Amino acid sequence: MFRMISRHFKEAFQGIFRHFAMAVSSASAVTFTLVLVSLLTLIVGNISQITRNIEESIAIYATIAEEVNEDEIPSLQRQLEKIEGIISVEYSDKDAELDRWIASQGENGEYYESYREDNPLPRAFLIRVASGYSLTAINDRIRQVHGMQDSEFGGVTTENFMKILAGVRRIGYLIIAALTILAIFMISNTIKITIYNRNKEISIMRQVGASNSYIRQPFVIEGMFIGIMGAIIPVIVTIVSYRYVYQEMGGKLLSNVLSLLPVNPFAYQVSAFLVLIGIVVGLIGSFLSVNKYLRWRR
C-alpha cells in the first residue's frame, strides 16, 4: 500500500516536471483567483470584526421617570430584562450618572461637582441588545414600559449602517464562493488539456491492465500540488500586504470601534484558508477532468 502511494506521488511529480509549462499555467490561474479571494476574505473578516465592535459598543440609554421610587427599580429592571433581544440591563443611579457626565467633560468636569447635593440628572438603565435584533423595535418597546421616561441608542442611521455592513459581508461570501468555483473551472480546463496531451501514456497504462482509479490517482495528486503552487504567491502577498496596511493604519480605522483584526493570527488563518482552497480546487479540478476523460475513453 505504501509502495503504491509513493509511486503515485512519484508519478505526480514526474508529470509536473514533464509538463512544467502546463503546470505553471494551471498554478497561475489558481494564483490570480486566490489573490482576489485573499483580498475579499481580509475585507469581509474585518467588516465582521467592525460589526461586532459596533454591536458591543451600542447601548440603549433609557432614563427612568422621576415619580418611580427607588424600591421599584428592581421590578422595573426585571420587566426590561424580559423583553426579547435584551441581554443585559445595568442600573445607573444619579451619582453614577453625574460621574459619567463629569468624566465626559474632561478638564472642565470638576465644575459640575457642585451639583452633587442637588443632582438634576435622571436615573437610567444601560441596556445591551443581542446581535441580530432591531434596535429600533426594542427601543420602542422600552418606551412603552410604565415608569420609563425616554430611551435612545443613536438613531436609525446607526442601525442602517450595521445593516449595510451585514449586506456587504454576505455579498463578500458569495463572491468568494463564486471565485472558488471559477478557479475549479479554470484548473479543470487546463488539466484537461494536459491529460489530452498525455493520452498515449494513459492508453499504454490501460493496455497493461491499469484500472481507472490507478490511472486517476497521480493526476489528482498532481492537481493538489498545482493548487499548493498556486497558493504560494497569494499567501506571501496576504501576510506582507496585510501587515503593512495594519502597521500604517495603526490597527484601526478612525477609532477603536473600527479596529482591524491583528496580523497574528488573522493573516495566517487567511493564508491557511488559501492553501486549503488551493488543494481543494486542484483536487476537484483534476478529478473532474480525468474522470470525464476516462469515461469518454472507456
For residues 84 and 228, state if they share a domain: no
The total domain count for the chain is 2
Give the rounded percent of residues in the chain with a pLDDT score beyond 70: 76
Q: The domain spanning residue 101 has which CATH number?
A: 3.30.70.3040
Residue 94, pLDDT score = 82
Domain boundary among 131, 153, 175: 153
Ramachandran category for residue 254: left, alpha or beta (phi over 0 → left; psi -120 to 50 → alpha): left
Residue, of 91 and 164, whose pLDDT is higher: 91
In this structure, are strands 148-152 and 255-259 parallel, antiparallel, or unpaired? Answer: unpaired
Q: How far is C-alpha 151 from the chain's CA centre? A: 33
Could you read off the pLDDT of 115-131 as tens digits, one per residue?
777 778 888 888 888 77
For residues 173 and 209, state if they share a domain: yes
Q: For residue 263, give its domain range.
A: 2-54+166-296
Could you read off the pLDDT of 244-259 as tens digits, one per residue?
888 888 777 766 657 7
Residue 293, pLDDT score = 64
Residue, of 10 and 169, whose pLDDT is higher: 169
For residues 48 and 143, state if they share a domain: no
* 45 found inside a domain: yes
Choose the weakest-confidence range: 33-42, 134-143, 182-191, 233-242. 182-191
Q: Could you tell me where the beta strands, DSSP code E, fall in 31-131?
A: 60-64, 86-92, 124-129
Domain boundary among 153, 180, 200: 153
Is the confidence at residue 8, as pLDDT, over 60?
Answer: no
Give the rounded percent of residues in the chain with a pLDDT score beyond 90: 2
For residues 274 and 188, state if they share a domain: yes
Alpha-carbon gap, residue 139 to 206, rounded angstroms? 72
Could you read off the pLDDT of 207-263 as tens digits, one per residue?
776 676 777 777 777 778 888 888 889 899 999 998 988 888 877 776 665 778 888
For residues 69 and 92, state if they share a domain: yes
For residues 175 and 281, state if they share a domain: yes
Residue 55, pLDDT score = 67
* 224 found inside a domain: yes
Residue 236, pLDDT score = 92
For residues 94 and 178, state if they share a domain: no
* 159 found inside a domain: no
Q: Are 283 and 223 in contact (CB under 8 A)?
A: yes
pTM: 0.64
Q: Are 135 and 158 in contact (CB under 8 A)?
A: yes
Copy the grid coordinates of residue 86.
Answer: 435584551
Domain boundary among 120, 153, 186: 153
